Chains A and B, each alone.
Chain A
Amino acid sequence: AQSVTQLDSHVSVSEGTPVLLRCNYSSSYSPSLFWYVQHPNKGLQLLLKYTSAATLVKGINGFEAEFKKSETSFHLTKPSAHMSDAAEYFCVVSEPSGTYKYIFGTGTRLKVLA
């Protein structure tokens, strides 16, 4: 069975410093992996996705993530945090089977300090 673990429920960074949000997955197949962001009382916005192409994936708003099969990780990074990055972030693994389900991580709340 597939699963995804977000290692930190809360992360605080100062504005202008790097962001690291950690995600580990478990999958018997070659997974598709996604990072979504959700601002308060809003829907989900796709930041980036990995679908077995390049292992370093660049997304929107300066975010990127690296797929590391040996470590079963897909950590999200950004070189310099902005106040507008404060939000909830979800790591998602997709089942490649016929159900096409998404398995969501528990989320990481990012706080950006001025």
Chain B
Amino acid sequence: GAVVSQHPSRVICKSGTSVKIECRSLDFQATTMFWYRQFPKKSLMLMATSNEGSKATYEQGVEKDKFLINHASLTLSTLTVTSAHPEDSSFYICSAREAYYNEQFFGPGTRLTVL
């Protein structure tokens, strides 16, 4: 099956720093990738839709200047949490849409802890 990786799996940073999370589709090309955020014991909340070569589309209430998304190639999307604060601590999950099966394949997630 299609595989999506995320890096890093876990990151701890100080308040005020920026953190970049990578999402890669390993064996297929993905024109569309998605970024989700999951709070403890909660469901996944869609943050934004990332389209290769164009600007990301953010969901209502998500700060686009806070969560920068870049989808520079058909296999890589990045999420940068700028000037991170403790309230940004969360589990971030990406997915990549595989066009033939019209299905999203999910990465294993990145646990961000901001001190």
Contacts and interface: CB of A to CB of B under 8 A. Distances in A.
A49 B98 CA distance: 15
A109 B108 CA distance: 19
A107 B42 contact: yes
Name the interface size band of chain B: 20 to 34
B18 to A, nearest CB: 24
A3 interface: no
Interface residues of A, number: 20
B27 interface: no
A32 interface: yes
B43 A43 contact: no
Given A100-B102, A102-B46, A43 B109 contact: yes
Interface string B94-114: 010100001110111101000
Given A101-B46, A106-B42, 13 more contacts: A42-B109, A43-B93, A43-B106, A43-B107, A43-B108, A49-B103, A90-B44, A99-B57, A100-B97, A100-B104, A101-B49, A102-B46, A107-B42
Contact of A102 (B104, B109, B111): B104
B67 interface: no
Given A49-B103, A101-B34, A102-B34, A41 B42 contact: no
Nearest to A44: B106
A49 B45 CA distance: 20
Contacts of A51: 102
Interface in B20-75: 32, 34, 41-46, 49, 57
Nearest to A49: B103
Nearest to B99: A100
A61 B46 CA distance: 28
A92 to B, nearest CB: 9
Given A90-B44, A106-B43, A107-B43, A32 B102 contact: yes
B108 A42 contact: yes
A105 B43 CA distance: 7
Contacts of A88: 41
Interface in A55-106: 88, 90, 94, 99-102, 104-106
30 contacts: A32-B102, A36-B106, A41-B111, A42-B108, A43-B93, A43-B106, A43-B108, A43-B109, A44-B44, A44-B93, A44-B106, A51-B102, A88-B41, A90-B44, A94-B102, A99-B49, A100-B49, A100-B97, A100-B104, A101-B46, A101-B49, A102-B34, A102-B95, A104-B43, A104-B44, A104-B46, A106-B42, A106-B43, A107-B42, A109-B41
